Amino acid sequence: MFGDYSLGDLGSIFVMQGFAGLILFSVYVLMALGLAIIFGQMGVINMAHGEFMILGAYVTWMTSNLFQTYMPSLFGGYFFLAMILAFVASGALGMLVEWALIRHLYKRPLDTLLATWGLSLMLQQAYRSVFGAREVGVELPQWMLGSLHVTDSIEVPINGVFVMGLTALITIAVAYVMFRSRWGRQVRAVVQNRVMAGAVGINTEKVDRYTFGLGCGIAGIAGSAFTMIGSTGPTSGQLYIVDTFLVVVFGGAASLLGTIASAFSISQTQSTLEFFMSGSMAKVLTLLAVVGILMLRPQGLFALKVRK
């Protein structure tokens, strides 16, 4: 298997596959962060999470078109505005959905799963009717094209580096909001003991709504970042939803650190395997390994010890 390559080649292959894995890792982390907040903190299974992500991607696409037509001079910076718009759009839709649908179902988690699946079907059809069934791709600004030459045989694409930087930034921001801000403390209080949190004066309904909105907003940013490395179609979100749930469950549902660790291990395994066998077998082996480990250790990698 390794015989045809020299040691140096093999090193470069591992670095470049590792880098491809890091890009996949970034997408997983961005998607899983939102899901970890919604599923890990609130216990709600949001099957429409992928569609919230795609909403962000479509918002980015529209913004880039807008800039191209009306403000070509500012095109280099459209992405930053697009990201904010994506966050707002997905977050607002998320809060609306929480108000109309999710809040009636907190006591029936399996039913949320079905209802949000219904929602995802409707959103997919809505995208198809509005944006067409074809996949769309955004045009990258000039500075994001090309790649960095690290050594003669190793080169890394700039958009990948950008997406990774963005992921790191958002992860830090989320960690800060959840563990350092007053609002994050309220969220965690509601998760740990809803009745008690209400008794000390936290508006639990409002906290729920904003938590769900935040999770969906982050999915929107994930979609925005996703346009940098792939094209967007009405059903793109569905492709990632199962993987993302596995990432969250594998990491231990309530742990942000676990989510990141599991996203890293899953994406690295998959992209390294992809070099040696067909993409589909790499995926099958990765998923099988994850399911197998989950059967041995159902609580995931990093489980919080909670008294129930």
Q: For binding to another protein (CB under 8 A), which residues are involved?
A: 43, 45, 101, 104-105, 108-115, 117-122, 124-125, 128-129, 238, 242, 245-246, 249, 278, 280-281, 283-284, 287-288, 290-291, 294-295, 298
3-state helix, strand, coil in the chain (%, to 5): 75, 5, 20
Task: Using alpha carbons, list the distances in angstroms from residue 292 to 260, 271, 296.
Answer: 19, 19, 7
In the bound complex, what is the minimum distance in angstroms from residue 31's beta carbon to another protein? 15
**Tokens in use for 297?**
């250790």
**Tokens in use for 151?**
């050594």
**Tokens in use for 148?**
């960095």
Choose between 118 and 146: whose C-beta lies nearer to another protein.
Answer: 118
In the bound complex, what is the minimum distance in angstroms from residue 90's beta carbon to another protein? 18
Choose between 119 and 197: whose C-beta lies nearer to another protein.
Answer: 119
In the bound complex, what is the minimum distance in angstroms from residue 296's beta carbon to another protein? 8
In the bound complex, what is the minimum distance in angstroms from residue 37's beta carbon to another protein? 16
Task: Using alpha carbons, list the distances in angstroms from residue 232 to 78, 94, 138, 248.
Answer: 18, 20, 9, 23
Choose between 171 and 286: whose C-beta lies nearer to another protein.
Answer: 286
Choose between 295 and 306: whose C-beta lies nearer to another protein.
Answer: 295
Buried b (16+ CB within 10 A) or exposed e, 194-231: eeebeeeebebeebbbbbbbbbbbbbbbbbbbbbbbee
Choose between 64 and 112: whose C-beta lies nearer to another protein.
Answer: 112
CA distance 126 to 300: 36
Choose between 27 and 249: whose C-beta lies nearer to another protein.
Answer: 249
Q: Which of 3, 14, 29 is nearest to 172 (CA)?
A: 29
In the bound complex, what is the minimum distance in angstroms from residue 242's beta carbon to another protein? 5
In the bound complex, what is the minimum distance in angstroms from residue 269's beta carbon to another protein? 14
Choose between 22 and 246: whose C-beta lies nearer to another protein.
Answer: 246
Confirm if 226 and 58 have CB atoms less than 8 A apart: no
In the bound complex, what is the minimum distance in angstroms from residue 127's beta carbon to another protein? 11
**Tokens in use for 24?**
């996949």
Confirm if 63 and 250 have CB atoms less than 8 A apart: no
Write the burial class of residue 58 (CB in 10 Å: 0-12 exposed, 13-18 middle, 19+ buried).
buried
In the bound complex, what is the minimum distance in angstroms from residue 182's beta carbon to another protein? 30
Choose between 104 and 180: whose C-beta lies nearer to another protein.
Answer: 104
Q: Cα 192 to chain center, whole Å?
A: 24
Phi first, then psi: what are they for 285, rounded to 5°? Answer: -65, -40
